[in-house]
Structure 1
Amino acid sequence: MKSGGGGGSGASAYGFPAKRRWRGLVIGVLGLVILSMLVPLVFLLGLYNGFHTTGYASDSQNSKPDVFQKYAIEPKKEIKDVMHESQEPKGLPPPKVDAIPTHTRENSTKVGGRVQPSQRMTAMDESGKPCEWKFGSYCIWRQENREVIKDSMVKKLKDQLFVARAYYPSIAKLPSQSKLTQEMKQNIQELERVLSESTTDLDLPLQIEKKSLKMEATIAKAKSFPVECNNVDKKLRQIFDMTEDEANFHMKQSAFLFQLAVQTMPKSMHCLSMQLTVEYFRIDSTNLELSQAEKYADPTLNHYIIFSNNILASSVVINSTVSNSKESGNQVFHVLTDGQNYFAMKLWFLRNSYKEATIEVINVEHLKLDDHENVTFVLPQEFRISFRTLTHSRTEYISMFSHLHYLLPEIFKNLDKVVILEDDVIVQRDLSALWSLDMGGKVNGAAQCCHMRFDELKSFLGESGYIQNDCTWISGLNVIDLAKWRELDLSQTFRSLVREGGSTDAVALRASLLTFQDLVYALDDSWSLYGLGHDYKLNVEDIEKAATLHYNGYLKPWLELGIPKYKAYWKKFLDREDLFLSKCNINP
């Protein structure tokens, strides 16, 4: 009994606790298995502190996107934004239109002979806006001119330095790792010294590979020790913020310098204007001028109007027109310019002849017109209009007449028909057919943009007062019926529309579009191809077939930033033999 009781007592004392321990071990193992499955999932889903692709942890709520990654996929569009009201998502900025002093146009494709906008998705930055909204046309140019990153060793050293700085504070807190701490400190100081003296791989010392391998080994040792992730995360976050601020600073600086480069006259071309002006007064060029005043106002001749303060650009327009004309003796070019470039223009066209064509240079600041005491010189205006939806954005560029164009009926009172050419246009075909063009009572023969209609611009045109399905038009090559213009008094219509809306840029665009409402004759697509100052994807066949090429966009062919593959069409009409071009080192 006792032994049986002892056996029962033993079963009670040892059997049940053993079962409990066995059950505890099973539960523990199951728990570890579950955790081993959940932890990788948590890390993969980024739920633990929001891991980045770099492998370093950061706060999922406060972390910022990778600035380098977002700048690497910039779209080809522009900076300001006008949105379809019918598609306007809540919380987005109100529609805007931006006037720019030069001409631009987005990446697009040709469908049925007409340029169609791209519908590509737009990459966003940390503010939720496309890159070009923040940095302008610079983003387009930067994307198209992106180069493979050079100086890979310098970049590698900087990355190693960042990682070493991140781990150093944690290693320095380990008393047993004083040797590793000293080693890391020396390597950090050594790389800092090298990078302070070298900005390219060519500047690096000969033994830099050994230094890099040494730093790599030191970082590997540091990673083998258990360190507080929060400390490493905090340090990497500080470095990331500093790097992002630096990247933003350089992006803004680059964008500013880009805008400065495309909106100002190059030094060499300013030199040309100054040299010609000095020479004009040195040789008393008034004695060289030939009296051709009778041709200036002869309505039986073909008169071309050019507004320009750029000697080379206006020269190329005239040279290309004359070179491709069947008969140049009946061509008269009127170049309207400002007082600063007037004498330089006069001497240039006295020194250079263009077959039998007649050229008149007019200083608009000296014009004496009825009801206009002071006339200021303004180049044709261009407006950049962006449409943004939740899925994509596109940008269109419309070049428009300046207020000077609305003085043409008063400036040329004896003329009934003229052709207006902008100075960023070249001619590839005889234009004589334009003079016999029957415009059916219309006033303005122009290239139309039917992929952007009036109803898409109602945010600043208003809700009524125009035909909503009408196409917009673009200046560059325009056939103008001055007789009909005077009959309808369109200049007064334009002034009235401007007074109604104030003085903003959008008002000028609205006034121009509404002035010629239902008075625009659509020129055939073969007469004009625009976008060569912005669109990198134009079809070569379309370029070669077009009668005129319009370099509307920031990237003018006479600028170093111009699109290289389009420059050849412009350069072949440039007179490179003139002495003053070599004097001023002009070689666009």
Structure 2
Amino acid sequence: MQLHISPSLRHVTVLPAKGFKEFMKVKVGSRRFSYRMFFYSLLFFTFLLRFIFVLAALDNIDGDTKCSTIGCLGKKFGPRILRRRTEPTVPEVIYQVLEEPVNQDELQAGQEIPQSLEDFMVEIRYSRPDAKAFAEKLKAMVTLLEQRTRNAKIQEYLYRHVASSSIPKQLYCLTLRLANEHSTNANARLQLPSPELVPALVDNSFFHVVLASDNVLATSVVASSLVHNSLHPERVVLHIITDRKTYSPMQAWFSLNPLTPAIIEIKALHHFDWLTKGKVPVLEAMEKDQKVRSQFRGGSSAIVANNSEKPYVIAAKLQALSPKYNSPMNHIRIHLPELFPILNKVVFLDDDIVIQTDLSPLWDIDMNGKVNGAVETCRGEDKFVMSKRFKSYLNFSHPLVAKNFDPRECAWAYGMNIFDLEAWRKTNISQTYHFWLDENLKSDLSLWQLGTLPPGLIAFHGHVHFIDPFWHMLGLGYQENTTIEAAESAGVIHFNGRAKPWLDIAFPQLRPLWTKYINFSDKFIKSCHIRAS
């Protein structure tokens, strides 16, 4: 290929190497330069530079940024050319105002602070404040509303605590009427169980279930659901432990409402020889606990008055003040081996549960030498309920707790537990329980949150065998996120929390799971106006 360029640069000729006669001509423009074109170009660039200068000046006036003319131009038009969006920046003064401590005097005045977002916007449009004044006004409004929300939530928790701690008049009525029936009707004073069935009380071939409660209605629901869903009710032995004042109403109810063919035993605490012969460490610890609690804690008023704690922490402390946690019915489980010295394995139930399946497979679980079969509460779909570890209950800022336990260790739940009493008797679980109760008293109740589960976590540490979550679904008494479908699919549901199913504050969508086991045609139920809703 040959390339020929004319001297005037007007023609460029390309010839093929093989002599091909055709060629290509590329016409090139003249080298002459037009002065008119130069003048127009200079005029255009002059106007362009003036336009750039004005834009840069406006950008510097509106904002606090300092940049050169070319820099501001690139900052303004660069993202548009590259089709990118620039995020608006928050002036530093706003951060400074928000980080400053809150002025409580201004908040207490209150009337100068906007009470709603609408009031805030009206005031801002009218006054047109600078960034600092805007941030101060916004911070004051948000802080005031936050405090009001906190106070409202704490009041709600306090009212729920009062409602859950009191005895509904319907239950009080039922107890009184049954006590009267016990004193006037011989059929309400039957021996339970009948003499021919007494040997079954110590026969380990039966399914032994223990329930400690002073609530007649709640106990009747647990017993009815247990027998109704059992595949072999004739092999079920239910040991009901109650206190002295509730013994007569409890005996009257089950005398008049037998759950044949199941076997029911009712005993009050004073009927156990072991409890009456000498001092019982757990009962002594409870008495000391109540004295220390009344002296240092100040009850619910002191808890609510604490302005430094979050509402959910206050709610947990209020719940732990419930009389249930100070009841012997809740502490007596630590002495099951002594109360039932001949039995090898029992299922212990709380009175706020409902059984929805046959429990007999629990006796076939291989505990691998462990004592307590329980559901762990640190894993599960419901993160609100199943997120409990040792740090949720124990005070790891105390050196005694931090030295002996791991805060990340998974917790477990009371309410439905299978206890291997034979393995228990070979351990020092009860002694450990009493030791830590004493240590907590010496530490001014500072080792754990109030309640009975924390010392249980310590006493059974290393002796727990986790069972399938099917056997124990928790949380129906303190959160309403549980669906009916999920609750119905569980073997045992637990109304742990303040919203007990026999209270008016119970969650209405969950309450039917409990009321379905109440016979509303019973004359005592009807006369005390106990209704399904």
Task: Give the TM bin, normalised by the shorter chain.
Answer: 0.5 to 0.7
Alpha carbons of 1:61 and 1:557: their partners in 2 closer, same or farther (altered >3 Å)? Answer: closer
Work out whether 1:459 is the aligned partner of 2:397. Answer: yes
Alignment RMSD: 3.8
Q: Which has the higher strand share?
A: 1
Question: Who is 1:483 aligned against?
Answer: 422
355, 358, 379: which one aligns with 2:263: 358
What aligned pairs does 1:402-481 form with structure 2 within 5 A after superposition?
402-450=330-378, 451-455=387-391, 457=394, 458-459=396-397, 462-481=401-420
Work out whether 1:547 is the aligned partner of 2:491. Answer: yes
The DSSP-based 3-state class of the residue aligned with 2:405 is coil
Post-superposition offset of 1:339: 0.9
Post-superposition offset of 1:366: 3.6
CA distance in 2, matches of 1:512, 1:132: 34
Alpha carbons of 1:587 and 1:413: their partners in 2 closer, same or farther (altered >3 Å)? Answer: same
CA distance in 2, matches of 1:541, 1:473: 24
Question: Who is 1:283 aligned against?
Answer: 185
Post-superposition offset of 1:330: 0.6
The DSSP-based 3-state class of the residue aligned with 2:510 is helix
Contact in 2 for aligned 1:365/1:376 (Cα 8 Å): no
The DSSP-based 3-state class of the residue aligned with 1:420 is strand
Post-superposition offset of 1:439: 1.4
457, 463, 468: which one aligns with 1:524: 468
Post-superposition offset of 1:128: 8.9
Contact in 2 for aligned 1:443/1:480 (Cα 8 Å): yes
Deviations 1:386-440 (A, max 9, x none): xx99999788789989431112111101111100111100011111110101111
Question: Who is 1:195 aligned against?
Answer: none
Question: Who is 2:530 aligned against?
Answer: 586
Deviations 1:248-278 (A, max 9, x none): xxxxxxx3xx433321111121111111111
Contact in 1 for aligned 2:189/2:255 (Cα 8 Å): no
Please tell me the residue identity of whatever aligns with 1:474: A
CA distance in 2, matches of 1:418, 1:496: 25
Question: Who is 1:514 aligned against?
Answer: 458
Contact in 2 for aligned 1:64/1:126 (Cα 8 Å): no
The DSSP-based 3-state class of the residue aligned with 2:375 is strand
Alpha carbons of 1:392 and 1:274: their partners in 2 closer, same or farther (altered >3 Å)? Answer: closer
Post-superposition offset of 1:468: 3.7
CA distance in 1, matches of 2:362, 2:484: 24
479, 487, 497: which one aligns with 2:436: 497
Matched residue count? 358
Deviations 1:513-560 (A, max 9, x none): 111112111121222111111111113332121101100111111112
Alpha carbons of 1:67 and 1:470: their partners in 2 closer, same or farther (altered >3 Å)? Answer: farther
Deviations 1:130-155 (A, max 9, x none): 347732525xxxxxxxxxxxxxxxxx
Post-superposition offset of 1:283: 2.1
Alpha carbons of 1:510 and 1:459: their partners in 2 closer, same or farther (altered >3 Å)? Answer: farther
Post-superposition offset of 1:125: 6.2
161, 171, 174: which one aligns with 1:259: 161
497, 517, 520: which one aligns with 1:573: 517
The DSSP-based 3-state class of the residue aligned with 1:137 is helix
Deviations 1:257-308 (A, max 9, x none): x433321111121111111111112123586322232122222211111111
Q: Which moved more, 1:316-325 or 1:293-302?
A: 293-302
Contact in 2 for aligned 1:304/1:334 (Cα 8 Å): yes
Question: Who is 1:268 aligned against?
Answer: 170
Contact in 2 for aligned 1:446/1:478 (Cα 8 Å): yes
- Structure with higher Rg: it is 2
The DSSP-based 3-state class of the residue aligned with 2:227 is helix
CA distance in 1, matches of 2:428, 2:114: 55
Question: Who is 2:248 aligned against?
Answer: 343
Work out whether 1:564 is the aligned partner of 2:505. Answer: no
The DSSP-based 3-state class of the residue aligned with 1:343 is helix
Question: Who is 2:89 aligned against?
Answer: none
Post-superposition offset of 1:61: 6.5
Question: Who is 1:295 aligned against?
Answer: 200
Contact in 1 for aligned 2:188/2:252 (Cα 8 Å): no
Alpha carbons of 1:269 and 1:442: their partners in 2 closer, same or farther (altered >3 Å)? Answer: same
Deviations 1:101-152 (A, max 9, x none): xxxxxxxxxxxxxxxxxxxxx99866599347732525xxxxxxxxxxxxxx
**TM-score when scaled to structure 1?**
0.55
The DSSP-based 3-state class of the residue aligned with 1:546 is coil
Post-superposition offset of 1:331: 0.4
Contact in 2 for aligned 1:124/1:130 (Cα 8 Å): no
CA distance in 1, matches of 2:364, 2:410: 24
CA distance in 2, matches of 1:416, 1:123: 59
Identity %: 31
Please tell me the residue identity of whatever aligns with 1:570: W
534, 537, 540: which one aligns with 2:478: 534
Alpha carbons of 1:520 and 1:486: their partners in 2 closer, same or farther (altered >3 Å)? Answer: same
Please tell me the residue identity of whatever aligns with 1:315: S
CA distance in 2, matches of 1:506, 1:340: 33
CA distance in 2, matches of 1:331, 1:356: 8
CA distance in 2, matches of 1:469, 1:524: 21
Question: Who is 2:210 aligned against?
Answer: 305
Contact in 2 for aligned 1:137/1:554 (Cα 8 Å): no
CA distance in 1, matches of 2:203, 2:109: 71
Contact in 1 for aligned 2:206/2:235 (Cα 8 Å): yes
Deviations 1:549-578 (A, max 9, x none): 100111111112211000111111112222
Alpha carbons of 1:525 and 1:134: their partners in 2 closer, same or farther (altered >3 Å)? Answer: same
What aligned pairs does 1:69-84 form with structure 2 within 5 A after superposition?
none
Please tell me the residue identity of whatever aligns with 1:560: D
251, 255, 272: which one aligns with 1:367: 272
Question: Who is 1:329 aligned against?
Answer: 234
Question: Who is 1:203 aligned against?
Answer: none
Contact in 1 for aligned 2:377/2:411 (Cα 8 Å): yes
CA distance in 1, matches of 2:368, 2:431: 23
Contact in 2 for aligned 1:125/1:131 (Cα 8 Å): no
Alpha carbons of 1:301 and 1:540: their partners in 2 closer, same or farther (altered >3 Å)? Answer: same
What aligned pairs does 1:93-242 form with structure 2 within 5 A after superposition?
130-131=150-151, 134-135=154-155, 137=157
Structure 1: runs of 5+ lacking an equivalent: 1-46, 48-58, 71-121, 139-254
CA distance in 2, matches of 1:558, 1:414: 35
CA distance in 1, matches of 2:236, 2:505: 33
Structure 2: runs of 5+ lacking an equivalent: 1-93, 95-104, 118-141, 291-299, 379-386
CA distance in 2, matches of 1:67, 1:285: 69
Of the two structures, which has the highest relative contact order with CA contacts closer than 8 Å and spacing of 6 or more?
1
Please tell me the residue identity of whatever aligns with 1:270: Y
Question: Who is 2:13 aligned against?
Answer: none
Alpha carbons of 1:440 and 1:365: their partners in 2 closer, same or farther (altered >3 Å)? Answer: same
CA distance in 2, matches of 1:544, 1:286: 34
**TM-score when scaled to structure 2?**
0.60
Deviations 1:60-110 (A, max 9, x none): 57533889879xxxxxxxxxxxxxxxxxxxxxxxxxxxxxxxxxxxxxxxx
Please tell me the residue identity of whatever aligns with 1:495: H
Contact in 1 for aligned 2:484/2:510 (Cα 8 Å): no
Post-superposition offset of 1:340: 1.0
